[in-house]
Amino acid sequence: MEKNMTFLQTMSASLNEMRTAEEFVDVVMVFEERRIPCHRVVLASTCEYFHRMFLAGMKESSSDEVTLNEIDGDTGDLLIGYLYSGMIEITQENALNLLAASDMLLLCDLKAKIQAFLCCNIHAKNCVSFLNASRLYKLQDLIKDSQKFLNTHCKDVTRKGDLVELQEDDLVGILNFDPSEDSFRILRKWVQAVDGRDGRFMELVKNVDLSRFSKEFLCYDVMGERLMRNEAGMELIQEAMKSILLCEYRTEVTFRYTVHNISSLSRNSVFSPEYYMRNLRWSVLLGTDTKESMPKSLAVFVQCKSDSSSALSCKVSFELRLLKQKADGAAYTKTTTQLFEHNGSKWGYSFFISWDRRIPCHRVVLASTCEYFHRMFLAGMKESSSDEVTLNEIDGDTGDLLIGYLYSGVIEITQENALNLLAASDMLLLCDLKAKIQAFLCCNIHAKNCVSFLNASRLYKLQDLIKDSQRFLNTHCKDVTLEGDLVELQEDDLVGILNFDPSEDSFRILRKWVHWAALQSHRRITIVIHNHNARKWVQAVDGRDDCFMELVKNVDLSRFSKEFLCGDVMDDRLMQNVTGFKLILDAMKSILLCENRTEVTFRYTVHNISSLSPTFVSSPEYYMRNLRWSVYLRQRRVCLSDTKESKPESLAVYVQCKSDSSSTLSCEVSFELGLLKQKADGAAYTKKNSWIPKIVMSKMIPS
């Protein structure tokens, strides 16, 4: 294969050189004023467009020149080079021109490369042009990435980018995505940028939630806009102002009241202490209540115990929380609001929280917004005429959220309610809600919920969530093992981890999963062996001893550490036979001959070796496998016969293990002695060596 690639590269380079030298060329490509001599056979073999052109019997088939005015000269030069060599330099400046040319010339591989480049280089100045180009040339990945950038950086795009070229559909996407005041500014700027867009303003402004704006912005900017000065515009402003004045919520005071035993309430009400806000006295009241058609419930009141002369209303938000009493129980939380009108009753309305959730609804609304209820009410079943429809498969909180969604189209998805909502939306055939929940779950995968998300995605056929959960599971399998619910991991997903992760963690994961499987005798498992998984699997499930030796042949024992091989593997009773010992012997031989695993590396420097004589110099102690190691250096000197002086003869280097080891294994130490050059024209000296200390390694062994 390498020789073949070298041949193709050589031939490509040779053809390109002949093109440059105009040897054997038989056609001239004209891009605007740029004339480039080429070989027909090369163009036809590397570009489907030219292949069809030269075979179609058109005048270009025999003409000495082919003119392509749609492509400028610089782009044409780059494309011809690409057709000859397969290489091209894509830049911010030439990317869009190359994209147009590659689309025209049917160069799909180049088109994919340009799309990948553009996806990695989106910013505020080019986002709009990239989005328009991606739609023109049907580049789905670039469409998604550009839209995502546009929605999340719309303010920067408005300030720096070419907003004039923004298409109306993309503008509507921004208005729906961004509820802030910037959305109105963006709309106004887009309309003012091009003559003739004024007529689209009133239709587009309906996508802007004016009630989310501040009163100041609504009164000055919105009302001051000339395009809003019409009957429809005034109606929108009036509705938004009414919503703001009635519902604007600013927390001025927060207080909490706790009742430790709600069963003691009985028929008696319990008042909290009084709290003061705006010089008015407030209390929380709790009590129980029973109605004929409802089971016993808990009543919660927020009471204003003073008369107010204020012309404004006051909105009160409060939360009732029932704390769990048992370890396996669940806390119950309900949040609601009440509005105190001017000169209205000093009592707010009572809010009853029933132990069994009962929600009055309109059949026509449920049938019009949910296919499940539409079929139910038209099927002639008892629910068609009954005053009550019971859905025991859906809990109260989830049912409350779903009814609100069917009436408003809005729902709050959280980590706590997502899976319950998913099950309910699947049951009720709410495909749009199901898609929203899938998008939420894809963005909130972590170690604790990964397995449950993956199982849910398979149960409800959510392909995007399956892919994201599997990717997270494979890349974070160790975290999932420590924190997640590995018990619920399905067999196919376990095999996926074993294939993805060849490390010892895969063995631990399998052991944990199989240990649970042994407690569930009905569970069948199939294992794909890539490492030392067979032994634990066989021991965990009765009746598998006979197939152990056949399975263990699929395990590369030579990939294990010597400690594991001599300990766990050799001690296993199922390996204590002729075949097992042969496998272990072959693996040990391979490890001893080929193993090269550095467990620790340390360096010690002596700046002046002449100071060594006659004593040793010892490095600090280093720890490896709970043993103390040091490096020793010493000069060996020889006495001169005619004088009492000595001269250096050699440099001794020792590596010493300063602890006794009870291990039955040896340890190979590799080390390097480097003498650095002292002069500019000198040379460094390097000597490498290795040695193997035996069982007791406290003795110094010189190199």
| pLDDT above 80 (res 529) | no
- DSSP code at position 528: -
The boundaries of every CATH 2.60.210.10 domain in the chain are 263-354
C-alpha of 320 from chain center? 35
Q: Which of 58-62, 262-266, 312-316 has the highest mean pLDDT?
A: 58-62
Cis peptide before 614 (omega within 30 of 0): yes
Per CATH, which fold does 263-354 belong to? 2.60.210
Lowest mean pLDDT among 119-128, 374-383, 601-610: 601-610
* 564-591 mean pLDDT: 68
Three-state SS for 544? coil
**H or E stretch covering 90:** none
- 45-49, 159-163, 166-170, 487-491: which has the highest mean pLDDT? 45-49
| Residues forming beta bridges with residue 271, ordered by sequence position | 285
According to CATH, the superfamily of the domain at 2-193 is Potassium Channel Kv1.1; Chain A (3.30.710.10)
Report the chain's mean pLDDT, rounded to a whole number. Answer: 74
Residue 350 is classified by DSSP as P
Give me the percent of the chain exceeding a pLDDT of 70: 64
Res. 294: pLDDT tops 90: no
pLDDT above 90 (res 651): no
CA-wise closest residue to 689 among 631, 606, 618: 631
What is the Cα–Cα distance from 464 to 340, expressed in whole angstroms?
A: 47
Q: What is the C-alpha separation between 477 and 494, in angstroms, rounded? A: 10
What are the residues facing 27 on neighbouring strands? 38
What is the number of other CB atoms lying within 10 angstroms of the CB of residue 465? Answer: 23
Q: What count of Cα atoms within 13 Å lies in the side-chain half-sphere of residue 296?
A: 7
Specify the pLDDT at position 538: 37
pLDDT, one tens digit per residue, over 197-253 is 888 888 888 888 888 888 788 888 888 888 888 888 888 888 888 777 665 545 566
Cα torsion for 73, 77, 82, 87, to the nearest 10°?
A: -110
Instruction: Provide the percentage of residues in the chain whose pLDDT is more than 90.
Output: 14
- Residues whose CB is less than 8 angstroms from the CB of residue 157 and which lie 6 or more positions away in sequence, other chains included: 124, 127, 128, 149, 150, 163
Q: In the beta sheet, which residues pair with residue 110?
A: none
Q: How far apart are CA 456 and CA 430, in angstroms?
A: 16
What stretch(es) of the chain map to CATH 3.30.710.10?
2-193
